[in-house]
Amino acid sequence: MQEKFPTQVYSEIGELEGVIIHSPGPEVENMTPQNAERALYSDILNLSVASREFNQLKGVLEKVTRTFEVKDLLADILKNEKVKESLINKICKNELAECIKPYLISLSEKQLAIQLIEGVQMQKKTLTSFLSKERYSLPPLHNFFYTRDAAISIYDNVFIGKMKSPVRLRESLIMEAIFDFHPSFSTKTLNPATISDEPSNISIEGGDVLVARHDIVMVGIGPRTTPEGVDFILQQLKEKNEHQHIIVQELPYSPESFIHLDMVFTMIDMDKCILYDPVVMKMNKYQTVHIYAAGGEVKIIREEENLPTALRNLGMDMKPIFCGGSSDPWFQEREQWHSGANFFAIGPGKIIGYARNSKTLEELNKNGMEIIKASDVIKGKVNLNDYDKYVITIEGSELPRGGGGARCMTMPIRRKHVHW
C-alpha cells in the first residue's frame, strides 16, 4: 500500500520530510526575446547550465528528504481517465483551446504530462491558425520550476495559488489536481477561484506566504499578492483556528526582484532570519500590519514597526542577518537582485542558497553556519550529520536570472514540528 503524505507544514524551518520540485526542461527555452517578457522573464535561460545548477539542489534534497517531481506526479494522476478528461477540459476552457481537446485525449499519460508542461505546438491546418503569429496552442510553462507559487502548504491544508499572470494559471490547475487525486497525498485543497464569492480581485502566490509558527502566517502584498488574497487566507484560517496571527508586509512594485516576500525575508533558524535591510528594516513607506483573529473574529488590526518587531511581540525573537552584508548598500542591492535573501530550510539552522552571494554567506558564517558545497554533499565528501548549523551552496550563474532562489524552487508538503 502506497504511503500517504498528509500535509503538515507548521513552520518554515522544521525538519523537511517531503518536498515537490520540478526540474526545468525544454519549456524554459521555448521562448524568444519577443515573448520573454510575456513569460515573466527578462532574459532567456541557458537550459543546459540551469539544469546542472538545479540538479545540485535536487541532489541535495534527495540526500535529506523524500522528493517528488511534478511531471511524475502529473503522469500518475493522468492514468485515471476521469481525472485526465476533467483536467483537459479545465485547461482548454481556461486557455480558449477547445479545438485541441481530441488531440490531448489521444495522448498517453506520460506524453500528455510532457505536453501540458512543455507546450502544445499549434497545428497550421486552418487559415486562422496559419495566419496566427503564435507558435503554441498551449504555451509552455516557463515558470513551473518555481513550484512554490502555485500551491501553498499552510498547516494541514494546501492553498491553491491564484496567480497574478494568466500565463501561470495552468500551474495551479495541475497542482490542484495532483493534491486532489494523487494517492500519495492526503490533504484538503482551498482554491479561491472556486471558494470565494469575489475571486477576480484575489491574487495569491506562494512566494509571498511564510508559515512562521503554528499560529503565525506572514504574507507579502505587492506585485503578485493582493490585500484581497490576504483576506481570503485570513477567512479560511480564522474559521478553523481559535487563535490566528497574520503579519502583512507591503512590498515595492519595482524593481522586479521584489516580486515576493521571500525575496526580502526568509526564516533560517529558530532565532534567526535573513532579510534585505532597505525594505524590511529602514524607514520607508512600506507598512507592516499585524492582524489577530480569535473565535472566528478579527480582534486586532494595527501597524507594526517592521517584521522582526512584529514577531518579537509574539514571542519570536529573531536576529536579523543582512542580505549582502550590513555595511555596504551596493552589495546589499546586488545580492538581493540575485536572491540573496531567498534561502530554503531543510531543518533549523540548515539551509540551501546560492554560492554567488558571497557577502551574505560571510554574514551567515559569522553567525555560526558552516559553508558547504552542494557538490561535496552529493558526492559523499561531507556528512551533514557532522555539522549542527550550515549553508549548503548551489551554483547560481544561470538560475538566478529566472528571478528566484532555493525557496522559490521548492514546495514543502511535510515538516517535523518545531518545539519553540
Highest mean pLDDT pick, 44-48, 140-144, 150-154: 150-154
**Region 227-234 average pLDDT:** 97
On whether residue 374 sits in a domain, the answer given is yes
Say if 420 falls within a structural domain. no
- 9 has which bridge partners? 155
pLDDT at 392 over 70: yes
Asked if residue 379 is part of any domain, the answer here is yes
The answer, yes or no, to whether residue 45 has pLDDT greater than 90, is no
Q: What is the 3-state secondary structure (H, E, C) of the chain?
A: CCCCEECEECCCCCCEEEEEECCCCHHHCCCCCCCCCCCCCCCCCCHHHHHHHHHHHHHHHHHHCEEEEHHHHHHHHCCCHHHHHHHHHHHHHHCCCHHHHHHHHHCCHHHHHHHHHHCEECCCCCHHHHHCCCCEEECCCCCCCCCCCCEEEEECEEEECECCCHHHHHHHHHHHHHHHHCCCEECEEECHHHHCCCHHHCCECHHHEEEEECCEEEEEECCCCCHHHHHHHHHHHHHHCCEEEEEEEECCCCCHHHCCHHHCEEEEECCEEEECHHHHCCCCCCCEEEEEEECCEEEEEEEECCHHHHHHCCCCCCEEEECCCCCCHHHHHHHHHCCCCCCEEEECCEEEEECCCHHHHHHHHHCCCEEEEHHHHHCCCCCHHHCCCEEEEECCCCHHHHCCCCCCCCEEEEECCCCC
In a domain, 193, yes or no: yes
Q: Is residue 312 part of a domain?
A: yes
Mean pLDDT of 353-370: 97
Taking residue 122's Cβ as centre, other Cβ atoms within 10 Å add up to: 18
The answer to whether residue 121 scores a pLDDT higher than 90 is no
Q: Name which residue leads in pLDDT, 175 or 201.
A: 175
- Say what percent of the chain tops pLDDT 90: 82
Residue 285 within a domain: yes
* Structural domain span for residue 153: 5-415
Structural domains in the chain (count): 1
- Is 10 among the domain residues? yes
pTM: 0.95
- The answer as to whether 229 is a domain residue is yes
Q: Please report which confidence band the pLDDT of residue 334 belongs to, taking 50, 70 and 90 as the band edges.
A: very high
Give the CATH number of the domain where residue 399 resides: 3.75.10.10
Which pLDDT does position 127 carry in this prediction?
A: 64
Q: Are 398 and 5 in contact (CB under 8 A)?
A: no
